[in-house]
Amino acid sequence: MAEAPLLRLTDVTKRFKGLRRGAAPVQALRGISLSLSPGRSLGLVGPDAGGKTTLMRILAGLVEADSGEVEVLGAPVALLDRSLIGYMPQGGALYAELSVEQNLTLYARLRGLEPSENPERMELLYRATGLAPFMDRAVSRLSGGMRQKLALACAVVAAPPLMLLDEPSVGVDPVSRREIWDLAQELAGTGSSIVWTTSILEDAGKCDEVLLLHEGRVLYAGAPEGLAGQASGRTFARALPPWHRRAALQEVLERPDVISATIAGSNLRAVCRGEAALQGEGWASAEPSAEDGFSLILDDGRPLEPSALAAAFPLRESNPDLPAIAAIGLTRHYGAFTAAQDVSFTVHPGEIFGLLGPNGAGKSTTFRMLSGLLTPSSGRGTVAGRDLTTARAEAREAMGYMPQKFSLYGDLSVEANLRFVAGAYGLKGAAARVAVDRVVGALALQPFLSAMAGLLPLGIKQRLALGAAVLHTPPVLFLDEPTSGVDPLVRREFWHHINAIAARGTAVLVTTHFMDEAENCDRLLLINRSEAIAQGTPDDLKRLVPLEHGEPTLEQAFIALIEAQHLAENEAA
Amino acid sequence: MSGALIRIAAMALKELRVVLLDRRVLTTLVISPVIQLILFGFATTLEVRNIDLGMVNRDTGVASERFVAAVAAVANVRSIHPYPNEAALVEAIEQRKVLGGLLIPPDLSARVERQDPAEIGLLLDGRRINAAQIVSGYVGEIAAQTGATLRSDGAPAAPQIAVRHWYNANLEFRWFTLPGMITLITTVLVLSVSVQAIARERESGTWDELMALPMRHWEILAGKCVPAFCVGLFNGGLYVAIIPLVSDVPFNGSLGLMLLAIASFSLAVTAIGLSISTLAQNQQQAFLGGFLVIVPMMLLSGYASPVDSMPAWLQPAARIDPLSHMLVVCHGLFLKAMPATMVFEQIWPMLAVAGVALILAVGLLKWRSE
Amino acid sequence: MSWRDPSAVRRAAAIRTKEWAQVWRDPSTFGLVVLMPLILMVLFGNAVSLDVRGTRLGIVDQDHTAASRALVDSLRHNRYFALREGPSLAGLEPGLTNGTLRGIAVIPDGFEQGMVRQPPRDVQLITDGSQVNTATFLTGHLRGALRDWVEARAREAGQGGGPVLSIVPRYSYNPGLESRYMLVPGAIGIVMAMIGSLLTALIMAREYERGTMEGLLSTPVSIPALVLSKLAPYYVLGLASTGICVLVAVYGYGLPFRGSIFALFLIASAFLAAVLGQGLLISAATKNQFVSTQFALLSGFLPSLLLSGFLFEIDSMPRAIQWLTYIVPARYLIPPLQSVFLVGDVWSLFVPNILILCGFGAFFFLRVTRAIKRRIA
C-alpha cells in the first residue's frame, strides 16, 4: 500500500468578507486540489493576491476552508498536531524588541524543544544561520536577511516533518537567498517536506514540484522543468550593444508580440506571444527558464503600453555640472560601529544608479542619509542641488522615496494613502486628483482603491508604494528594493516604468538584490562591510574580476568582489 | 505659505481618517463617553443619602424618644436598627451593615429633666470618613435643636445662620457633577487621541515615510493636532447640548463663550498629549505616559476636592492645570451666567499652556527625529 | 491541555519568559508599576482631602460694633476659613461668580443689639451653590463657629447657657479623622485596577497588531495556557505595585495595618484575577491597542474610581446606578481593603468579596479563551 500523502487537498474553496462593509466577498481559493508525498518539496508561485498565503494558512490550520477536504500529515487539518509543522508567516512572527536568542528560545520551547537539553541542535541553528555572533542583538537591529534567517530558524527549530514557509526569501541578497534555501533543507533534516511560497521563480525551481496559483485557481502543477518547458520554442535572445541597453530593452518590451524581456548579462532575452518569433538583428532561439514559462502562462495577451507614469514627468535636461544626487564622503557611526564609511558618488539626471551589496552592508544607511532620514556623522549629500543638512525639507520636495519596508498607513485605504501623500507634496484639489488617478491607472490599483492598505498582498503594497513615490513627478527618485516580493510580471512592469521615467531626465537611485535589475542600471556602486568597494557600469564591474572562464556574470562578479575584500581584510588583520 | 497649508490639511485629513474611520473608535469616542457622562454625572455625589444607623438605647424616658424620632425623621436616614448592646453595634459597623450608631445612656431623660448637660454617644465607621462626618453634623444639629425644645430655663435665643445658596438653591449635586464631567471626560478623550499621534507612526513603521516627505516638524504637529482637537470640540459641544436635555441643570451662560473655552481647553490638552507622544517609542509608552499625566491633572483640578484644601506646595501645580480653569468655566457658564471678562481670565491660562506645550512638542520632535 | 504533560508546562513557561523579557525591555511598564503608585499615593495623600479647609469666605460687617468685630476676629482665626473683608455685598459678589470666593457672610446692622434685646438678628450667608460640597461644609462650619462664639461669649459673661443635649462622636478605626485613612486604601485599588486592566489591555492587541499572534497560534501551545502565561507577569507586577503602595501607606503616611499580610495577599490576588481578566478580554476582543486602551479606561479605571464606593457612597447613588455597581469588581475590593488596614482580618467580610472577585476572574478567563479562536482574520 502506498504511503499516505503528506498533504491532500480536495476541491478547497475559501472566500473572505469584503474589506469594507457592503463590498462583495473576495473569492480567495476556487477549488484547489493537490497531493504531496512525504519528503517532497512544493513551491507555490503566482501573482500577488493569487491565494498563496490563504492556502498556507489553511495548511497551518489558521484559516478554515469553506468547503473541500484538507488533510495534513494524514489527518484532517482540524485534528492537526501542531508540533509536527513549522510555520513561518510572511515576514516572520518575531518580537522586534527581544534578542535573537530570546526569540529562538521562545519558539524552540513552544515547539517542544528545550534548548538546554538540545545544545547540539541549538548550536547547529546558530551556526547555520550565522546568527551566533548576534545572539544578544535585538531583532529590530538585524538586517533584513538576518531577520529572515532567524524567522526561518524559529519555524523549523524542532525539525518538523512539514515546514510551511511563506515568502522566506523576500528582500534577501542573492548569496543569503541561496543560503536560506540550503538552510531550510539542512535544518529540516531527512524526510521532511517543505512548502514554500515565493515570487522568485529561481527559488521555486529548486523544489520538487511547483504549483502556480492565479486568482484562486491552479494554472500549473508539476515539475519545475515542465514550467520552463511551457515556453520552449518561444524564448529568444540576442547580444546587446554596450550602449543604449535600456532603450533596446524598452523597444522590445513594447512590441505587440513580446510578453516579457530582460537583460541577462550581455544578452537581451524575450518571450514571445503565440506563434510569433523574433528574427534578424542577431536574435536566436534560447533555452527557456521557469520564469519564461510563468510569464507565458499568465500572459493576458495585452502588449505593454508606454508608461503612463513616465508620461507625466516633465522632460528634464541633463547638466553635467549639476548632479541630481551627490554623496560626498558620507559616513555614519553608531557608537564604535561604523555603518557607512566615506561613501561618495554622483548621479546625473536621466541616470539609473544602482546600490548593490549584501544585507547589512551599509546600503540602507547610505540610502537613508541621502534621503535625509539619517544625519551623517560626517560628509554631506545634496539632492537636486539642495543640501540635505541645511535645506532638508526643500531637498525632500525634490525627491520621491520608496522605502524598503512598506511604510504607508495600513489602516487607511489605498486611495486615502495616495491622497495624503499628494497633499504632503503640496498637490492640491484638482492637481492631486489627477495625479492620484494617473498612478492608480498606470499601476492597476483600481480594484484595491477602497481596500485597507495593510491587508493587501505584498506585491500590491509595493505598487502602492511606487505610486506614492512618483505622484509629484520629482526630479529625483529613491527606490529601496522596489521589486522585493513582487512577481516576475510585475517586476517587468516596474522596470518598464522606471526606465521610462529615467528617460525623461529623472535621476533614479535604486537598491536591488536582483542581478538582472542591476544590469538595467547605468552605473553601480557595490557596498560591503560599510565601504564602497567598486563603482562603474555593469561591464566595468565584470572587468574587475579576473577572467577565467569567459565573461563572468554580474552575480559572479558581485561575489568575487566581496570575497576579494574579505580576503584583503583578513590578510590585513 | 499655501504649500504649508496644503501639507497641514493633508496631514489633518489623514489623521482624521485614521482615528475616525474605525467604527469601534467612533463608538469609544462618541457613544460611550455620553453614557459615561450620564452614568458618572448622576453617580458621583458626596451627599450622603439612605443612611442606615444603629442604636443602643438604655434610656426609656421622653428625651431619648423625642431625639430618636427627630433623627429618624431626617430624610437622608433610611433606618435605625436597635441593638442590645455596644458589642453588637460594633460588630454591625465592622461588617458595614450600618454606618454608625447612637449610644444613649440610661440617665439621659433624667439629666434633661434636671437641665443638666447630657451627652449622647455616636459611634461612626472611620473607614467611611466623609459620610461619617456628614452624619455627625446632622445628628449634632438635631441634638442641639431637641435640646433647645426641652429647655426650660429661658436663656436668650442666639443668632443663627440664615443661608441662601446662589446658582443652585437646593444644592443639587448633579448641578455640580454634570458640568464638571464635561471637563473630565473631554480630557480623557482628547489626551488618549493626541498621545497616540506620533507614537502610532513609530510603532507601525510609517515614520520613515513621513520623514521622507517634505513636511516641517511644525507642519506635522499642526496636522496632528486636528483630530484630538476636533474630538474635544465635538464631544464638549455634545455634552453642553445633552446635559440640559437629560437633567434639570440649567445652562445660563453664553454658548459662544462655552465653545471658545472648550476649544482652548481641547487645544491645551492636545498639545500636552502631543508632547508626550513625541517622546514615546510605541503605543504602550504613549498610553502609559498619557495616563501618568491624566490622573494628576484630574486630581489637581479641584473636582475631587477643592484646590484651597491642598497643601501650599501643590497649589501652583493646580493653577497651571488646564482642567482647573475649564472647571471654573463649566460651572460658571452653566450655573452662574459668567460674564465674558471672567471667562477670558480662565481662557488665557489655557492658551498659554497650549502654546508652551506646542513649542515643547516641536522642540522634542526635532530632537527625537535626529 | 493537560497540566501533567511536561511539554505543555514548558510551553507555558516559555511564554511567561517571553512576557517578562518584553516587560524588561520596555521601561514604560516599570514607570507604571513604580511611578504610578508613588504619584497616586502622593496625590491621594495630599491633594485630595475631604475635609474642606481654608474656604475663601467674604465677610461684610454692617454692624460695626464690638460684638460684630469680635465675631469677625474669631472667624479669622478659624482654620476652616480664609477671610476676605469687604465693604458691601455688591463689592464681593463678583468673587462669587469667578470662583475666588465660595461664600459671603453678612453680619447685619443691629446684630449686637439683637443679641441683647431680642429677638436676635441672623447672620446672612450666601454660598456658591455650584460647589455643592464646599457650600455644605461652609454652612456647617459657619453654624458651628457662630454657636461656639455665642457660647464662649455667654461663658465670659458668666451665664450658663450650654446646650442641654449634645453629641460625643467617636470614629472607630480612625479616631483622628484622617481622610487619608479612607483615601489611601482606595488609591491602592485604583493602582491595581490600572495595572490590571490597562497593561493587559495592550498585550493581546499588540500581538495581533504586530502579526506575532499568527506565529504563536501556529505552535502547539493551547489557548488557556497562552492566556494564563501572558497574565502571570502582570499579576506579579500588580502585587509588586500593591506592595509599594502598602509600604508608602504604612511608613509614609502612618496608616495602621491591623490585618494580616496573608489576608491582603488573598484580597489583592482575587481582585487582580478579575481585572487582569477584564483587560485581557478587552484586548483580545478589540485586537487594536488604541480601542482597547479606550475601553480599559472607560470600563476599568473610571468605574474603579467613581463607582467603587471609595470616593462616593454607593448607598447615595440613584437606584439604577447602585445596581450597576454590582458588576464593578472594585466594589468588592474597597471594603475588605479598607478593613485590612483599619480594622483587622474580618473574614466574614473578606470571604464573600473574595469569592465574588474570583467568580469575575473565572468568567473573564472563559470568555477570553473563547474570544481567541485559532483563526487569523
Q: Quote the pLDDT of residue B54.
A: 93
Nearest residue to C377 (alpha-carbon basis) of A454, A320, A404, B261: A454
Q: Quote the pLDDT of residue B34.
A: 83
Backbone angles phi, psi at C160, to 5 degrees: -70, -90
Please check the confidence at residue C377 and state whether its pLDDT lies above 70. Answer: no
| Average pLDDT score over residue span A334-345 | 87
- Cα C278 to Cα C230, C267, C272, C321, C365, distances in angstroms: 13, 17, 10, 20, 8
Q: Are residues C367 and C237 in the same domain?
A: yes
- Interface with chain C: mutation pick from A110, A162, A455, highest number of C CBs within 10 Å: A110
**Domain A351-361+391-569 in the same topology as domain A7-227:** yes
A408/B209 touch (CB, cutoff 8 Å), yes or no: yes
Q: How many CB atoms lie within 10 A of CB A210?
A: 28
Residue A221 touches chain C, beta carbons under 8 Å: no
- Interface with chain C: mutation pick from B128, B173, B279, highest number of C CBs within 10 Å: B128
Beta strands A267-272 and A235-239 are: antiparallel
Over the Cα atoms of chain B, what is R_g? Answer: 28
| Average pLDDT score over residue span A355-370 | 86
**Which residues from chain C sit within 8 angstroms of residue A106, using beta carbons?**
14-15, 17-18
Domain membership of residue C164 (yes or no) is no
Residue A440 touches chain B, beta carbons under 8 Å: no
Q: Are B270 and B253 in contact (CB under 8 A)?
A: no
Go through chain B and tell me how many residues it has. 370
Question: CA-nearest residue of chain A to C372?
Answer: A62
Q: Are residues C263 and C278 in the same domain?
A: yes
Confidence category of residue A19, pLDDT binned at 50, 70, 90: low
Number of Cα atoms under 13 Å in the Cβ half of residue A204: 32
**Which residues from chain B sit within 8 angstroms of residue C258, using beta carbons?**
none
Q: Are A271 and A492 in contact (CB under 8 A)?
A: no
The overall longest dimension of chain A from CA atoms, in Å, is 77
Query: Most confidently modeled of A538-542, B3-7, B221-225?
Result: B221-225
Confidence category of residue C360, pLDDT binned at 50, 70, 90: very high
Q: Where are the domains of chain A?
A: 7-227, 231-308, 351-361+391-569
Confidence category of residue C1, pLDDT binned at 50, 70, 90: very low
Chain centre distance of CA C169:
25
Please check the confidence at residue C209 and state whether its pLDDT lies above 70. Answer: yes
B6/A427 touch (CB, cutoff 8 Å), yes or no: yes
Q: Are residues C249 and C294 in the same domain?
A: yes
Q: Are A325 and A386 in contact (CB under 8 A)?
A: no
Q: What is the pLDDT of residues B261-297, one digit of tens each?
A: 999 999 999 999 999 999 988 888 888 888 888 888 9
Which helix (H) or strand (E) element contains residue C168?
strand C165-172
Q: Which residues share a beta bridge with A220?
A: A212
Please check the confidence at residue A3 and state whether its pLDDT lies above 70. Answer: no
**Which residues from chain A sit within 8 angstroms of residue C374, using beta carbons?**
61-62
Number of Cα atoms under 13 Å in the Cβ half of residue A88: 32
**Which residues from chain B sit within 8 angstroms of residue A425, using beta carbons?**
7, 213-214
C376/A105 touch (CB, cutoff 8 Å), yes or no: no
Query: Most confidently modeled of A480-489, A504-513, B14-23?
Result: A504-513
Domain membership of residue C169 (yes or no) is no
Q: Are residues C61 and C39 in the same domain?
A: no
In chain C, the percentage of residues whose pLDDT exceeds 70 is 96
Q: Quote the pLDDT of residue A304.
A: 80
C98/B90 touch (CB, cutoff 8 Å), yes or no: no
**Which residues from chain B sit within 8 angstroms of residue A423, using beta carbons?**
6-7, 9-11, 13-14
Closest partner CB to A425 (pick from B21, B22, B214): B214
Q: Quote the pLDDT of residue A23.
A: 59
| Average pLDDT score over residue span C304-329 | 86
Dig out the grid coordinates for C294 from the structure.
479606550
| Average pLDDT score over residue span C68-73 | 93
User: Can you list the domains of chain B with their CATH numbers?
Assistant: 2-44+171-368 (no CATH), 51-150 (3.40.1710.10)
How many beta-carbon pairs under 8 angstroms link A with B?
83
**Does the bond joining C119 to the residue before it have cis omega, within 30 degrees of 0?**
yes
- Name all chains with 3 or more CB-CB pairs below 8 Å to chain B: A, C
Q: Cell numbers 498621545 label which residue?
A: B195
Q: Quote the pLDDT of residue C62.
A: 93
Q: Are residues C182 and C276 in the same domain?
A: yes
Give residues with Cβ within 8 angstroms of C335, minimum separation 6.
B96, B127, C309, C349, C353
Q: Quote the pLDDT of residue A1.
A: 37
- Cα B163 to Cα A18, C124, C128, distances in angstroms: 67, 6, 11
- Name all chains with 3 or more CB-CB pairs below 8 Å to chain A: B, C
A93/C213 touch (CB, cutoff 8 Å), yes or no: yes
Nearest residue to B48 (alpha-carbon basis) of B130, B106, B113: B130
Q: Are residues C95 and C239 in the same domain?
A: no
**Torsional sign, CA C300, C303, C306, C311:** negative
Number of Cα atoms under 13 Å in the Cβ half of residue A60: 32
Measured CA to CA, the distance from residue A409 to residue A452 in angstroms comes to 9
Nearest residue to A515 (alpha-carbon basis) of A356, A405, A278: A356
CATH H-level superfamily of A351-361+391-569: P-loop containing nucleotide triphosphate hydrolases (3.40.50.300)
Residue A98 touches chain C, beta carbons under 8 Å: yes
Q: What is the pLDDT of residues A39-77, one digit of tens each?
A: 888 999 988 778 888 899 999 888 888 888 898 888 888
Instruction: Tell me what the pLDDT averaged over chain A comes to.
Output: 86
Q: Are residues C151 and C287 in the same domain?
A: no
Among candidate residues C100, C124, C156, the one where a domain is terminated: C156
Chain centre distance of CA A180:
15
C215/A92 touch (CB, cutoff 8 Å), yes or no: yes
Q: Quote the pLDDT of residue C48.
A: 76
C316/B48 touch (CB, cutoff 8 Å), yes or no: yes
Q: What is the pLDDT of residues A526-537, one digit of tens each?
A: 998 888 888 998
Q: Quick one: A245 exposed, middle or buried, by C-beta within 10 A (0-12, 13-18, 19+)? A: buried
C26/B291 touch (CB, cutoff 8 Å), yes or no: no
Please check the confidence at residue C249 and state whether its pLDDT lies above 50. Answer: yes
Q: What is the pLDDT of residues B49-63, one digit of tens each?
A: 888 999 999 888 888
**Which residues from chain C sit within 8 angstroms of residue A85, using beta carbons?**
218
Measured CA to CA, the distance from residue A358 to residue C175 in angstroms comes to 76
| Average pLDDT score over residue span A201-228 | 88
Q: Quote the pLDDT of residue C240.
A: 92
C170/B162 touch (CB, cutoff 8 Å), yes or no: no
Q: What is the pLDDT of residues B133-167, one digit of tens each?
A: 888 888 888 888 888 777 655 566 778 889 999 99
In chain C, the percentage of residues whose pLDDT exceeds 90 is 31
Q: Are residues C182 and C146 in the same domain?
A: no
Q: Quote the pLDDT of residue A415.
A: 92
**Helix axes B322-331 and B173-194, enclosed angle (nearest 10):** 140
Please check the confidence at residue B226 and state whether its pLDDT lies above 90. Answer: yes
| Average pLDDT score over residue span C159-187 | 79
Distance to chain C for A532, nearest Cα, Å? 35
Residue C18 touches chain A, beta carbons under 8 Å: yes
Q: Are residues C24 and C65 in the same domain?
A: no
What secondary structure, in 3-state letters, does chain B show? CHHHHHHHHHHHHHHHHHHHCCHHHHHHHHHHHHHHHHHHHHHCCCCCCCEEEEEEECCCCHHHHHHHHHHHHCCCEEEEEECCCHHHHHHHHHCCCCCEEEEECCCHHHHHHCCCCEEEEEEEECCCHHHHHHHHHHHHHHHHHHHHHHCCCCCCCCCCEEEEEECCCCCCHHHHHHHHHHHHHHHHHHHHHHCHHHHHHHHHCCHHHHHHCCCCHHHHHHHHHHHHHHHHHHHHHHHHHHHHHHCCCCCCCCHHHHHHHHHHHHHHHHHHHHHHHHHCCCHHHHHHHHHHHHHHHHHHCCCCCCHHHCCCCCHHHHHHCHHHHHHHHHHHHHHHCCCHHHHHHHHHHHHHHHHHHHHHHHHHHHHHCC
**Torsional sign, CA A416, A420, A422, A423:** positive
Q: Which of residues 110-129 of A touch C (CB under 8 A)?
A: 110-112, 114
Which residue range forms the structural domain that includes residue C313?
A: 6-48+178-371
Question: CA-nearest residue of chain C to A163?
Answer: C218
**Which residues from chain C sit within 8 angstroms of residue B49, using beta carbons?**
313, 315-316
Q: Are C123 and B159 in contact (CB under 8 A)?
A: yes
| Of the listed ranges A290-304, A332-346, C321-335, the one predicted with least confidence | A290-304
A62/C375 touch (CB, cutoff 8 Å), yes or no: yes
Q: Quote the pLDDT of residue C2.
A: 46
CATH class, range A7-227: alpha beta
Question: CA-nearest residue of chain C to A410?
Answer: C209
Closest partner CB to B306 (pick from C52, C115, C165): C52
Q: Are residues C91 and C25 in the same domain?
A: no
Question: CA-nearest residue of chain A to B216?
Answer: A393
Q: Quote the pLDDT of residue B230.
A: 92
Q: How many CB atoms lie within 10 A of CB B205?
A: 15
Q: Quote the pLDDT of residue A24.
A: 66
- Interface with chain C: mutation pick from A106, A166, A167, highest number of C CBs within 10 Å: A106
Measured CA to CA, the distance from residue B297 to residue B304 in angstroms comes to 11
Q: Which residues share a beta bridge with A511?
A: A355, A480
The number of folded domains in chain C is 2
| Average pLDDT score over residue span A3-29 | 76
Q: What is the pLDDT of residues C82-138, one digit of tens each?
A: 999 999 999 999 999 888 899 999 999 999 888 888 788 999 999 999 988 889 889
Q: What is the pLDDT of residues A255-304, one digit of tens each?
A: 888 888 888 777 888 888 877 777 777 888 888 888 888 888 888 777 78
Q: Quote the pLDDT of residue B112.
A: 83
Q: Which residues of A91-127 are buried (b: 16+ CB within 10 A; e: fewer)?
A: bbbbbbbbbbbbbbbbbbbbbbbbbeeeeebbeebbe
| Of the listed ranges A79-83, A134-138, B85-89, B350-354, the one predicted with least confidence | A79-83
Domain membership of residue C162 (yes or no) is no
**DSSP secondary structure letter of residue A3:** P
Q: What is the pLDDT of residues C267-289, one digit of tens each?
A: 999 999 999 999 988 888 888 88
Q: Are residues C59 and C37 in the same domain?
A: no
Instruction: Tell me what the pLDDT averaged over chain C comes to.
Output: 86
Confidence category of residue B238, pLDDT binned at 50, 70, 90: very high
Q: Cell numbers 443679641 label which residue?
A: C115
C349/B95 touch (CB, cutoff 8 Å), yes or no: yes
C99/B127 touch (CB, cutoff 8 Å), yes or no: no
Domain membership of residue C171 (yes or no) is no
Q: Quote the pLDDT of residue C163.
A: 67
C315/B52 touch (CB, cutoff 8 Å), yes or no: yes
Dig out the grid coordinates for B21 from the structure.
474611520
Q: Are A307 and A500 in contact (CB under 8 A)?
A: yes
Taking the C-alpha atoms of C297, C301, C307 and C311 in order, what is their torsion angle to the nearest 10 degrees?
Answer: -130
Q: Quote the pLDDT of residue C250.
A: 92
**Which residues from chain B sit within 8 angstroms of residue A420, using beta carbons?**
10-11, 13-14
Q: What is the pLDDT of residues A385-443, one digit of tens each?
A: 888 888 888 888 889 999 888 788 888 899 999 999 999 998 888 999 999 999 999 88
A399/B205 touch (CB, cutoff 8 Å), yes or no: no
Choice between B23 and C249, residue whose per-residue pLDDT is larger:
C249
Q: Are C277 and C363 in contact (CB under 8 A)?
A: yes
Measured CA to CA, the distance from residue A345 to residue A355 in angstroms comes to 11
Distance to chain B for C8, nearest Cα, Å? 30
Q: Are residues C94 and C216 in the same domain?
A: no
Distance to chain C for A82, nearest Cα, Å? 5
Please check the confidence at residue A244 and state whether its pLDDT lies above 90. Answer: no
In chain A, the percentage of residues whose pLDDT exceeds 90 is 20
Q: Quote the pLDDT of residue A113.
A: 85
Taking the C-alpha atoms of B57, B60, B61 and B62 in order, what is their torsion angle to the nearest 10 degrees?
Answer: 70
In one-letter notation, the amino acid at residue A386 is R
